[in-house]
Amino acid sequence: MAEDKAKNPHVLFFPFPIQGHIPPMLKLAELLSLSGFHITFLNTETIHNRLLKNSPALEQLAQQPRFRFKTLPDGLTSNNTEPILQVVDLVDSIRARCSELYRETLVPQNGEDPDGWPPVTCVVADGMMPVAFDVAEEMMVPVILLRTSSPCSVWAYYSIPELIKRGELPFPEEADMDDPIQGVEGMQSLLRRRDLPGTLRHAKSPNDRVLEFFNTASNNLGRAKALILNAFEPLDSLVLSHIRSVCPIIYTIGPLHLLQRNLNSSTNFPSFWLQDRSCIKWLDSQPNKSVVYISFGSITTMTGYKFHEFFHGLVNSGHGSITTMTGYKFHEFFHGLVNSGHRFLWVIRPDLVQGITTELEIYTTERVCFVPWAPQEEVLAHPAIGCFLTHSGWNSTLESIAAGVPMICWPFFADQQITSRYVGEVWKIGVDMKDTCDRNTIESMARKVMVDEGLRKSVSEMANIARESVKENGSSNMNFQKLVQHIKSLSI
């Protein structure tokens, strides 16, 4: 019986149900499926239906003989307007509504899987889903954590108790955001208040829900059998050494999209939004390294005002600078980009710009292309792209590194603030524009990054390291093979 189990490891994946977390989970799940494992992938019903609608990846995966999806209700109706509080509400709702169904999925009461599959031998739980960890541990199923954010943010979140002990969290009223932070080991000379994960800015007291949520999630590091990170060893070796002091077994297997490609996986990138591929044709007509690509991910929002009148006036004016209609983030970005003189491709989700009462049309001119969502990996790899104006989400950052594209970072929340600091000050592959949104800064940074050969050289060198890491004898590839063996050992 033990031998049969060893031949049929069954891994259950439980991702956090937002855009930035599900794609790397799905990529890893597919790679393990191709390694001969049975895979059960849990989604909430809302997220699963949305992915089915907008991405062919789920149907492709579901056709594989050892891959299946199961869904759980989320039941969330949140009254919170702040994204991080929506996240905490979602976790609480899933815990309340899904724990029993999750237990039954892990260990069926009658002892028989409805599909005749072998028992679940391991859970790969999203590090931001404590319920996935707690219930599996209760059912005595081994748990490996996967954190989908940057290693530097993982370590910063783990340092919350020390930051509270030192009085650095919560921030005092009228705090100087440029004051240095000392409570994150190994980053004392690097971090300012504004560089801590943005979600920590919301905390009002040491017992704040946000601090408690991230502290609980981070404490699971020391309880897990291992930790998986979508990163590669040379990128963050110092930070990784600190994390290993808490969780000694770490598998750095990123960039996952490169590893997936190297191991001959053909699944498309799963997305919450329907991709508009017209931008590829537009890029084909642009000179090399002439285009600024702008995308702020799946959560960031902006304010806007009279966009249609503004845009038509811009188009009709030709290439000249614009000096009117100040005061709104969207307009400041648009003014700055236009005044930089560069061509640009901008992903504008239907919900990106608040304050527009009519449906946003998508415009394309010789210099400007707007799309509701883009095939980002393909866009970043296109020779026309000269730089990436990004929210510094970890998936986007890795994709930009892998493509050798320097970044302008405008982080929104969560791990994005600390990741952007590393992009600008540690890795020196871009510039950090956090907490700034004026047209002059945007214009000057776009001009700088598009011609800065030092940044381009640094990110090109890092891209080469990333690509080497996923090759047969590269660190990420070998770590993935070790992970496969580790999971097999758990099923014996």
> Residues with catalytic annotation?
21, 126
Q: Which long-range contacts (CB under 8 A, 24 or more apart) does 446-452 make?
A: 446/292, 446/336, 446/337, 446/340, 446/342, 446/387, 446/389, 446/408, 447/340, 447/341, 447/342, 449/386, 449/387, 449/406, 449/407, 449/408, 450/289, 450/292, 450/340, 450/342, 450/386, 450/387, 452/406
* Residue pair 14/129 in contact by the 8 Å Cβ criterion: yes
Rounded Cα distance, 51 and 54, in Å: 5
CB burial of 269-297 (b: ≥16 within 10 Å; e: otherwise) equals: bbbbbebbeebbebbeebeeebbbbbbbb
Alpha-carbon span 431 to 429, nearest angstrom: 7
Which residue from 337, 374, 331, 371 is spatially nearest to 354, judged by alpha carbons? 331
Q: 265: exposed, middle or buried (C-beta count within 10 Å: 0-12, 13-18, 19+)?
A: middle
Contacts of 383 (CB under 8 A, 6+ apart): 288, 289
H helix intervals, 8-44: 22-34
Which residues neighbour 423 within 8 Å (Cβ) at sequence distance 6 or greater?
A: 392, 397, 407, 409, 429, 430, 431, 432
Name the region of 400 (left: φ>0; alpha: ψ -120 to 50; beta: rest): alpha
H helix or E strand, kind and range, residue 110: none
* CA gap 358, 145 in Å, rounded: 43
Entry field: residues in the chain? 492
- End-to-end Cα spacing for the chain: 9
Cα four-point dihedral sign 276, 280, 285, 291: positive
207 Cβ contact list (under 8 Å, min separation 6): none
Asked if 386 contacts 291 with a C-beta cutoff of 8 angstroms, the reply is yes
